Structures are given as structure tokens and as C-alpha cells.
Chain A
Amino acid sequence: MTALAPTGAPRERVRTRIWHEESEPGNAFATRSALCHGYDVYGDMLGQARWVDMLFLLLRGEAPSAGQARLLETLAVALCNAGPRDAAVHAAMCAGVGGSTAAAALIAALSVGAGKAGGAREVWAAMQQFVDCGRSPAAWERALAAPAVERAGIWPQTEHPPGFDPHAALTSGIVERTLQVLAPLSVGLCLPWLLQSRAQLEAATGRGLAMTGVAAAALLDLGFTPDQGEMLHLLLRLPGAAAHALEQKEQGHKSFPFFALDLQDDPGIAA
């Protein structure tokens, strides 16, 4: 009884450019219709718009062109499942085998898949590098050779050039194939430039291009900011984590690797 002032107007309001709701007559807490950036979601979009159209609309504020939707959809398929070797999926599977909640499996995948080594923060950093260096090979080579010193914060210092594989000297087949498929679909400049410059950048870093680098270029070509790209990368990789968590939940912990430790400072069995 305290949410509304005596006039019926709420005391505090959420300001948003994204979402508008009309209430049902007689119940201000039930929604009759909803607009997303001006589009009637349940009256006009539902049944016509695709999932990627809605994703694009939510973050960019406009409906995507056919080319933008196709590029985003193709990127989403490429990122959908990193496979059980991936650390984020591995974490989700750990939730599955232990019988943790579904949300815990996704939280595990998000937390691990957020990082600067193969995760969303690396995509953010790679997008930032594209923004800073543009398509200048010299600027890229300078940035890759001497990464800027970062101020202390919650993220650790960068240990490898963002967008490149810390443990591979060459680009893997799936990354190369993704770049080859995405570049011709591009509605921007980064993917075609990356396809053309890949060998030169690999030589400069001594490392193969990673999926994070391809994703960064694609997200920039779609007009997303590094912050938006980081969010989308987190989101788009969740389906694979969910599927693998459910599969391992079904199979149980007995068939899941437990691995081994070499304890360096074992005090031994107490007397």
C-alpha cells in the first residue's frame, strides 16, 4: 500500500528508453501491451520477428537490416557451444554432476566465461583494441607488441594479446572457418579486414587468431559497443553450457573426470 502516492502516481520511477508498458484497466501491475523501442512486441513483432531481431533491437534500439540479422544469427550459431573442453562449459558440467540448480549451472558458465582468457572480457578488450587501432597494421603491431599498462582493478592484468589464442601458434580450423563464413556476410569493415590481415597479425603476435577475436570483429561490424559485445558474448555462449550441464546431470558424477593432484606440501598422516 506504500508504492503509490495518494494521487495514484508512484513516488519513484525507472527511466528507460527501451520499454513501455500499458496496464490493464483496473490493475496497474498487469500488462496489456508492451513497446520495445516503440515496436509493439506482443501485437506486431510476435510471430514476425526472430530472436536475433529482438536481441539487436534491445541493444541497438533499431530493427536490424536483413544483413545485420543474418550476420548476428550466424555469429550466434558459431558461439552457441564451445564444447565440453571449454572452461565455462566445464564449470556448468560441474554444476550438473553435483545436482546443483539450473541457475547455478548458468551462473558457473557466466562466471568462468566472463574472463580475460577466452571469455567475454577478452572480447571487450579485443573490441577496444579495434576501436583504438582501427585497421592500421602498424597500430595493431605496436599494440600487440607492447600492451598498455592497466591500473589496478578487479580484472587481472592482460597476459596475452586479446583476440588471440594464448596457447596456439596457429589459427584453429573452426576459427578460420568462422571468419571465412562471417566476413562475406559483414555489413562493416572489421571482419573483411581481419580476414585479409590475419596472417600478418599472427606473425606479429606469434599466436593464432582466437574465436574471441572473430567475435569482436563481428560485434563491431554489427555496431555494438565493447560493453554491448561483452554482454552478448556472455549470453550467446549459454545454450551449450546448459545442454552439457543437463547431459552430465543425467550421467552422474561417477562417469565425470575427477582428475589428480600432486600435493607439494603434504604433512602426511597425523600421528
Chain B
Amino acid sequence: MNGPDVLVDSADRMRTRVGQAFVGTRAVFRGQDLHAELRHLDWMALYVLGITGRHHTEAQLKLLHALWVCTSYPDARIWNNRTAALAGSARSTPGLGIAAALAMSEATIYGGHPYVSSIDFLIRAQPHGGEALHAFVEAELAKGRIYGYGRPIASVDERLPWALGIAADLQLDGGPHLRIALEVERLLVQRSPKLRMNYAALMSALCADLGFSTTEMHHFQVPVFLAGMSPCFIEAAERAPGTVFPMSCAHIAYEGPAARRWPTSQP
């Protein structure tokens, strides 16, 4: 249908399977009564039910919690946290500051893109093994970099042993995607010692082993840094306004054209 029929069919009323608020009586969440059936779920359980439509086991939920905890860094220098802090310093609102920090976490060199790209890669790589995996990795490298390996600021990722330890404690470290992720690391490190596995590949592998699709992973990772953002905002809001990394005129290293006159009459 290239014409407007699909729009006409959808006007005013939308078919849905995700839920509805019957305001004043009840609410439905993914086919279940939110209050009667789901009121005791922990928030992570509800969040991943909303994303995947599937319930997860207690061990799986513990792992998902841990994956967020291990990367919650309240460091106001990091770009997304810095934005939350600047919002606090500028006396903006928490909602605006955190919304901006979350939006920018869908970045290319960290956050959203590496997670999506990495799980997509691991799901496609998983059926391969041995020489076939080697050829698959070579073919991927010919198309561009493989996200999930190497890191912008430091090549060692301090989060990995902790997250892997929790996965092992929960007996969730034996899945095929994690095995492939580790094998890919071995192949890549042979090419460059800087290409060690980073947190995006580890989290993607563990989530793929829980059955997450690429789209589900994309949604799951959205608040992954959230817990580190609010403290940065709050502390900045407690300081004098404008005192988060203030820059003087001397902080600007101008590299543009020399002073010139604005053309009053342009050709």
C-alpha cells in the first residue's frame, strides 16, 4: 500500500497487545492485570517483561541487575554524566538533565551503538565455529570495525571480571554467545593486543544467551548508565551555580580565520 489507506485504517483507534490503562478501574500490562497479577514484580522484571513479553527467572534478573550496577559510574567527567551535572549546575530540572544524558548515551563510541552492533554481530557469529568463525571475523573486519572489542580511554575493562564472576555464580556463564565472544576476543587480540573484549560485548553476549534479540538489547541498554547520572546532577545542583567545569576565555583555543569585516553588501 503506497497510498494513504494505511493511515485511514489507523486513524483514531489503535490495535495493541502491550496494554491499556482503564483509568479509574485497572491497568493491563502485556496481557496481565498490572495490579492483580504483577504488583509484586521487581522493577527490572517488569521492565524486561515490557521489552520482551517474556518473564525471566530470578537468576536471570539478578544478572541483568548486576550488568547495570557494574557500569553505573557517578563520574561527572564522562560526557553523559557531565551533561546531567551541567544541567544541575545550570539549575535546570532533573527530568531534563537526565533525559539529555540518556539521549546522548545512544552514542557511537560508547553506549547504544556498540551494544546494538555487538549483539547483532554475536548473534550472527554464533552458528560459526573454528575456521568458519575465523573466516566470519575476517569478513566482518573487511566491512569495518567490530564493536565490543577495544575501548576509547583504556584497553583494559575493569568491569569484566566482576560481571563474569556474577554470571558464573548464577551459572549463567555457559551460553553459546559468551563462548563465541571469548573466542572472537582470542582471534582479535592476535591481531592487536588493544582489541580486548569490552563491556558491550560481554553484556551483549550474556543477554543474547538469555534470548534477547538485537531490538530487545537496544531497549534494555537505554538506562544502563542511569544510576550514575543522578548523583552527578544532585551534587552539581548543591554547588554554586555555574561551577561545574567553568571555562574562562583562555580555555578556548581559537583556530579559525583572523578578524575580518562583515560584508555589508553581499554579492
Binding site for B on A (CB under 8 A): 3-4, 8-10, 12-23, 28-29, 31, 35, 37-40, 44-45, 48-49, 61, 63-66, 69, 101, 103-104, 107, 111, 151-154, 166-169, 206-207, 259-267, 269-270
Best-buried of A38, A61, A260 by chain B (most CB within 10 Å)? A38
Given A39-B262, A104-B96, check contact A16 B253 (CB 8 Å): yes
What separation, in Å, do the CA atoms of A270 and B28 have in the docked complex? 11
Total A-B pairs, Cβ < 8 A: 169
Is B230 an interface residue, CB under 8 A from the partner?
no
Known: A10-B247, A29-B249, A153-B116. A111 touches B28 (CB 8 A): no
Closest chain-B Cβ to A167's Cβ sits at a distance in Å of: 5
Q: Quick one: which of A20, A63, A111, A154 contacts B254, CB cutoff 8 A?
A: A20
B32 interfacial by beta-carbon distance below 8 Å:
yes
Q: Check if A10 sits within 8 Å of B250, measured CB to CB.
A: yes
Of chain A, the residue at the smallest CB distance from B243 is A3
Please give me the residue from chain A that is nearest to B258 by CB atom.
A38
In the complex where A39-B262, A49-B262, A69-B266 touch, is A269 in contact with B25 (Cβ < 8 A)?
A: yes
Cβ–Cβ < 8 Å partners of A17 in chain B: 254-256
Give the size category of B's interface with A.
35 or more
Contact B248 A29 (CB under 8 A): yes
* Residues of A contacting B: mostly: loop
B31, B32, B120, B245: the one within 8 Å of A152 (CB): B120
A40 to B260, CA, bound (A): 8
Q: Is the CB of A263 within 8 A of B20?
A: yes
CA distance A64 to B265 in the complex (A): 11
CA gap between A238 and B144 in the complex, in Å: 36
- Excluding A3-B248, A103-B96, A266-B20, 12 further A-B contacts by CB distance (< 8 Å) are A16-B255, A28-B248, A28-B250, A29-B248, A35-B254, A35-B259, A40-B262, A48-B264, A65-B266, A154-B106, A265-B17, A267-B28
State A179–B49 Cα separation when bound (angstroms). 47
Please measure, in the bound complex, the distance between the C-alpha atom of A17 and the C-alpha atom of B36, giving whole angstroms.
60
- Is B81 an interface residue, CB under 8 A from the partner? no
CB of B191 closer than 8 Å to a CB of A = no
Chain B residue nearest in CB terms to A57 = B262
What residues of B have a CB within 8 angstroms of the CB of A22 in the complex?
249
- Expressed in whole angstroms, the minimum distance between the Cβ of A11 and any Cβ of chain B is 9
B157 → chain A closest CB, angstroms: 21
A66 contact from B20, B144, B266, Cβ within 8 A = B266
